[in-house]
Amino acid sequence: MAGRRARTGRGWDASPPRAGDTTPRPRRGRPAAESEAAPRGEAGSGREAAPPRDEAEVAREICLRQLAVRPRTRAELAGALARRGISEEAATEVLDRYDEVGIIDDAAFARAWVTSRHAGRGLARRALANELRQRGVDGDTASEALGELDETTEAETARALVERKLRTARGEPDAVFRRLVGMLARKGYPPGVAIRAVKDALAAQSAEAAEFAEQIDADALTAAETEIDR
């Protein structure tokens, strides 16, 4: 119909073409220049690809991100770098430098770990030694840190753990005794420390528990448990 615009798939043609005119008429919509723009990063975009980053710089960033979460041992950081594909040469360079300036210090890590895990979780030296070994702390460094946790402190912590558990413990004295000794064993306490801590705590709890505790031969049980461990 004359005077009406013809609708196309992409827009409106404002007027009918004149006779003999074969020139494509622009349509409203997305400009051709925009639709034909070169993809980002290709020639003609005015942007050049970034040069490859120095491997040591990448290694430092990985280490700092790891250390921002919590202190790490050298072995832990070396493992993180290896998993990210950092070469052994670059990792050694960065970790040696961090050793020099004190950013990583396995001895300080071990001391702090022993103090915090004993106070917070009540872990004994045997359990703490296992955790330090899993984190790559060498035996001499771990032994030095564990030496700061003496037997008296360990026994006092075991007794405190038992007393806290006894407040909510239910069942016959013999069942409670076994559960509490097992709890201390899982935290790394040796049989003698665990058995004596539970016996003493039961003796102070009630008459029934005290009577049961009197029947416990701590030395004999300790010897038996030690033999089983071997």
Q: Express each pLDDT in 27-83 by its tens digit.
A: 555 544 444 444 455 555 556 666 667 999 999 999 999 999 999 999 999 999 999
Highest average pLDDT, of 10-19, 100-109, 213-222, comes from 100-109
Q: How far apart are alpha carbons 59 and 86 in whole angstroms?
A: 7
Give the per-residue pLDDT at 1.
47
Mean pLDDT of the chain: 82
Query: Has residue 148 got a pLDDT over 50?
Result: yes
Q: How far apart are alpha carbons 93 and 85 in whole angstroms?
A: 15
Segment (H or E) for 12: strand 12-13
Q: How far apart are alpha carbons 137 and 111 in whole angstroms?
A: 11
Give the per-residue pLDDT at 230.
59
Give the mean pLDDT of 108-120. Answer: 96
Q: How far apart are alpha carbons 166 and 60 in whole angstroms?
A: 49
- In contact, 106 and 141? CB cutoff 8 Å: yes
Q: How far apart are alpha carbons 120 and 94 in whole angstroms?
A: 33
Ranges of H-type helices in the chain? 32-35, 55-69, 74-83, 88-101, 106-121, 125-134, 139-146, 151-166, 173-186, 191-203, 207-214, 218-229
Residue 87 C-beta-side C-alpha neighbours within 13 Å:
7
Q: Express each pLDDT in 10-32 by its tens digit.
A: 444 455 555 555 555 555 555 44
Selected residue with higher pLDDT from 189 and 39: 189
List beta partners, residue 13: 6
Give the per-residue pLDDT at 35.
45
Selected residue with higher pLDDT from 48 and 125: 125
Query: Has residue 99 got a pLDDT over 90?
Result: yes
Residue 43 sits at the vertex; the CA angle it makes with 38 and 49, to the nearest 5 degrees, is 110
Give the per-residue pLDDT at 208.
80
16: left (phi over 0), alpha (psi -120 to 50) or beta: beta
Q: How far apart are alpha carbons 151 and 192 in whole angstroms?
A: 12
